[in-house]
Structure 1
Amino acid sequence: MIISIPEISIVIADDHEIFRDGFKLTLNSVENFTVIGEASNGTELIEVVNKTKPDVIITDIKMPFMDGVEATKVLMNESSNRKVIGLSMFDDDETILDMLEAGALGYLVKNAEKAELIDAVNSVYKGEAYNCRFTNSKLTKILALRKKRKTAPVKTEPLTERELDVIALLCEGYTNKEISEKYCLSLRTIEGVRLKAQEKIGAKNIAGVVVFAMQYGLYQPKKSR
């Protein structure tokens, strides 16, 4: 049986040309990855994305004129189907939450290894949040510092027990496929539960579900021993 590998088109944004060139070289060295556009700031990124319609967008956070967070907000408002990975030079706690709230599905630091970059692109391409386990430990600390934990909004439609269970597993880094296997249910059923939960809480994607769940106390991370 021959398994076809999807061709994934990518647009990258970073204000440093040397970094873009190196990053582009790394991505293009992967058999099924092709960089079809690049930008040096958020404004250019929006133009390039609208022109090329890539499968995955990888954007630096801090750029001139318009940063990655604002550009992501604009892109997601135009189409919620866009798949964005945020990129930063440092492991900056604040930017993780900012990017996820803007609608990004993944987050990477610029010194990430090639294998990690490939995993991130493939995961986000499939609509899965990348590296939830890493991000969640950070989110817990960030939300505590911001003191933003509240009760769920009154207008939010109550979540069912199954929806809460699925949300908890998403927060722990499980994929839809892993959740379907855990509950012995079809992948379509789990995706339906997840989409309904997203609709109820107004989240753009899985990463948004994780942010919402932690911010409003729907999920409590297990304490590490």
Structure 2
Amino acid sequence: MSLNHNQIKLVIADDHEIFRDGLALMLGKQPHIELAAQAEDGNELVDMVKKYEPDVILTDIKMPRLDGIAATQEILKLYPAAKIIALSMFDEESLIVDMLEAGAKGYLLKNADKQEILDAITEVYNDKVFYCRHTSARLASLIVKSKFNPHKKQQLPVFTDREKEIIKLICKQLTAQEIGEQLFLSKRTVEGYRIKILEKMSVKNTAGVVVYALKNNLISEEELL
């Protein structure tokens, strides 16, 4: 099958065959994705990346022979622009941080739904960072304290005072309706602000807003409690 310009060439890696097959089946049905290859460990993943040079790599962290962290480091030595998404269990928060520090551009928990997986692939393909929407407060804190900072080479956007107010309330998990009631704005106006804030931060969801806001001192951890 030839790759058309609207398709994202993808390689996936996971040592659990049933999970990997299920993921491959779902991804194989997507018209904008070409699943180029599957790998069952890090060594095989590196080989597949060399062979197919995919646009995006979706890899488990814990794998035999060569884990996802070491594989990510090796791939990025060969292809510094490689776009890698980590797959993780919910209790592997420190490993997620290690993957991000190794150079991954995003992460997903293995219980993520189909749409979130597709969103992650598209966002990372478009040079954005993807934070799983099930990001815990502890994981957000670990990411903020880590060396991972995807925005360090970019000129940071300027937020208005109103946007800063809304960012803090988004971080506190308030809905658009609740934010509107607190700030005497319509729900639609708040939703407009939210879209603009997400665009300025280059993030997809509330988890991304929280990490960005903490990393750039728009909110403190104490304010989230």
TM-score class normalised by the smaller sequence: 0.5 to 0.7
Deviations 1:88-117 (A, max 9, x none): 133421022111101111100111100100
* Cα distance in 2 between the residues matched to 1:116 and 1:35: 17
Q: Aligned residue for 1:75?
A: 75
How much identity, in percent, do the aligned residues show? 41
Secondary structure, counterpart of 1:163 in structure 2: coil
Deviations 1:27-56 (A, max 9, x none): 111111121111111111001001011111
Structure 2 contact 108–132 (Cα < 8 Å) conserved = no
Secondary structure, counterpart of 1:131 in structure 2: coil
Q: Aligned residue for 2:22?
A: 22
The residue type paired with residue 40 of structure 1 is E
- What is the aligned residue count? 177
Q: Cα RMSD over matched residues?
A: 3.9
Q: Report the CA distance between 1:78 and its aligned residue.
A: 1.6
Q: Report the CA distance between 1:175 and its aligned residue.
A: 9.1
* Cα distance in 2 between the residues matched to 1:120 and 1:11: 14
Structure 1 contact 11–56 (Cα < 8 Å) conserved = yes
Match runs of 1:108-119 below 5 Å: 108-119=108-119
* Cα distance in 1 between the residues matched to 2:89 and 2:99: 14
The residue type paired with residue 53 of structure 1 is E
* Cα distance in 2 between the residues matched to 1:139 and 1:131: 10
TM-score w.r.t. the length of structure 2 is 0.65
* Cα distance in 1 between the residues matched to 2:146 and 2:55: 34
Gaps in structure 2 of 5+ consecutive residues: 159-163, 172-193, 203-207
Tell whether 2:4 aligns with 1:33. no
Match runs of 1:18-167 below 5 Å: 18-131=18-131, 137-142=137-142, 163-165=155-157
Q: Report the CA distance between 1:224 and its aligned residue.
A: 2.8
Q: Report the CA distance between 1:220 and its aligned residue.
A: 5.4
Gaps in structure 1 of 5+ consecutive residues: 151-158, 182-206
Q: Aligned residue for 2:181?
A: none
Q: 1:143 to 1:180 in 2, by over 3 A?
A: closer
Q: Report the CA distance between 1:179 and its aligned residue.
A: 2.3
Q: 1:121 to 1:175 in 2, by over 3 A?
A: farther
* Cα distance in 1 between the residues matched to 2:132 and 2:78: 25
Structure 1 contact 100–106 (Cα < 8 Å) conserved = yes
* Cα distance in 1 between the residues matched to 2:79 and 2:13: 18
TM-score w.r.t. the length of structure 1 is 0.65
Q: Report the CA distance between 1:120 and its aligned residue.
A: 0.4
Q: 1:100 to 1:143 in 2, by over 3 A?
A: closer
Q: Aligned residue for 2:200?
A: 179
Q: Report the CA distance between 1:81 and its aligned residue.
A: 0.9
Structure 1 contact 91–109 (Cα < 8 Å) conserved = no
Q: Greater CA radius of gyration, 1 or 2?
A: 2
* Cα distance in 1 between the residues matched to 2:217 and 2:132: 13
The residue type paired with residue 155 of structure 2 is E
Structure 2 contact 97–146 (Cα < 8 Å) conserved = no
Q: 1:75 to 1:175 in 2, by over 3 A?
A: farther
